[in-house]
Amino acid sequence: VIGGGNSALEESLYLASIANKVTIIIRRDEFRADASVVDKVKANDKIEIIYKHIPDKLIIEDDRIVGLQIKDVDTLENKVVDCAGIFPYIGADPSTDFLDKSILDERGYIKCNDDMSTSIKGIYAAGDCIEKDLRQVVTACNDGAIAANSISKLLK
């Protein structure tokens, strides 16, 4: 997992529940996440944390990812992390600053109901910009389908 915010750490915890080992690559020397999530990650024996490194190059063999070359941000030295998958979680903050603040939570995510409607009549939201626990393509598609259905009903 590449990243040091809440999304990266939450994904790391999820992956650790189904994988033998998870490695977090973070470019800083500390996380930018809620302390409770950081504590859970640090307490998980299946999670290794590599601080002050950035991704540099994918290592691919036989059309499969087998590793990631990372670079130390201070020394610029490279090393390879063996892996079977890479999950970038960089810059997952929502781009919602153009919206009315009354429909946003404290982190900038859009608050909406089960039908994807917001507290402003006729305004619906879907995808990773809404307040929810799981941010994946499949959940964003689901949100969009629900929003489209709700808007269709509203227009009829």
Contact 104, 110 (CB under 8 A): yes
Instruction: Name the percent of the chain lying above pLDDT 90.
Output: 83
Task: Give whole-number Cα distances, 129 to 56, 97, 109, 116, in Å.
Answer: 29, 11, 5, 12
* 145 Cα distance to chain centroid: 21
Supply the DSSP symbol for 19. Answer: S
The pLDDT of residue 6 is above 90:
no
Residue 91, pLDDT score: 65
The pLDDT of residue 23 is above 90:
yes
Structural tokens at position 33: 């996440």
Please report where in the chains the tokens 């997952």 appear, as a residue: 92
For residue range 84-117, list pLDDT tens digits in order: 999 998 766 788 988 999 999 998 999 999 999 9
Residue 97, pLDDT score: 87
Please give the Cα distance from 20 to 71 (Å, whole number).
24
Task: Give whole-number Cα distances, 7 to 32, 69, 73, in Å.
Answer: 10, 22, 22
Residue 7, pLDDT score: 85
